[in-house]
Structure 1
Amino acid sequence: MILFTKLLLAHLLGDFLFQPNKWVVHKEANKIASKYLYLHILVHVIIAMLLLWDLKLWGWVLVIGISHYFIDLSKLYANPYFENKAIPFFIDQALHLVVLYCCVFNSDLVGHTVGLLQEMNWPLVTAVVFASYPSSIIMAKLLEGMSDRIELDHKSLPNAGKYIGIIERLFVLIFIILGRWEAIGLLITAKSVFRFNDLKESNSRKLTEYILIGTLLSFGLAIITGLIYLGVR
């Protein structure tokens, strides 16, 4: 596991800390002809070798470097086809992590993967998944009749409310698992403070009631999910 951690650190340093924005822009503009693409790969190889400090592993570092080149190159050419640029970014990062995983556990890749899946905390995974998008959809269905009656006179970021709800439910779930119920109260207080100005300016009782119901429903779903997880784990 130490080997994977070192390679992961090398990847994080090479892809984020030691890759200036100038390189990223140049790569996107020139793609395979960009000199910074090759410099970026060289930086990755050097950092990996320095962290591993073992010449016997140079072959795997070379594999990582070559795969990194083709994955990055594929992303550069695939980027224009995606309206949401976050999609190719996360696919790119996932593929890099898969390569690192395969290199580290190549001697027993299938056995290690099966063991990893068997040891995974599936109730926790299920709770986290439910607290995210499924809960958002459930809330949207429950509040559907009310949302049509709310008139908004201000603009907000697309899907901002949905993402705020997902994040707050995940925080609540974490606090329940850790047994820090008081932190949930602080979270509710913080959200109330941030929402106060919006409600004050709108001077709408319907909006106030809608936000209050939505907040209580969101926290309620997260609390129920957390309690069920604690009961079945």
Structure 2
Amino acid sequence: MIESFALLLAAHALGDFLLQSDAMAARKAEGRPGALLAHAGIHLALLLALLAPTEPRAALALLALALAHLAIDAGKALLPRRGLTAFLVDQALHLASLALLAQLMPGLWEASLWAPYLAEAPRLLALGAGFLIAARAGSFAVALLMEGLAPGGLPAGEESGSGLPRGGAAIGYLERGLIFVLMLAGQPGSIGFLIAAKSILRFGTVSESRAASEYVIIGTLASFGWAIAVTFAAQALAARL
């Protein structure tokens, strides 16, 4: 069962956090049927490609999962507010649907066309999914958390000041990705150097404003905390594979 869940999780991470553009996400949030259907179609294609079902029953189960993904996204589009809570509930529902299918059909991976040839695929894809969720999903989570907290002159999200366009977001991706890699390499102590480096780089922004200082501290702790929590979860999953 755990191998099947790892593959389902990898398909979900690829579909939601790598192959979904900002434009598609915006159209989905507006509830546009074309965007919702296209997104669900991408998920179905990923599920079929990664799990390569050899039985019609398994293929139908993956179709049902893609339709469940469509229904969850459509329900989210109907919500009047779409902050961090909505994002976390949305992802929790998706993960619950993956876990339910893995529980109902634990042999999805064993019956896959790839299983006899790619024994390490579930573990590697679980770690890859963890990396995407840490780096990319963390960007959405932190940005939603910081909405409404930005002091005067600072935009909400990970970016602050008048630096490079989307420079703050790029820093966020890099720091969370590095945390993931460092923890997998057994070097969690090196995360302290990342905190020190970011503090030095942000010093000019925050030294003259308490509000800006608190804003950066909250965003940094949220970003680091998300990456560490996701890495622990990914390591626990990979250890069972």
Q: What is the TM-score normalised by the length of structure 1?
A: 0.48
| Larger Rg, first or second structure (1 or 2) | 1
Greater RCO (CA < 8 Å, at least 6 residues apart): 2
Q: What is the TM-score normalised by the length of structure 2?
A: 0.46
More helix by share: 1
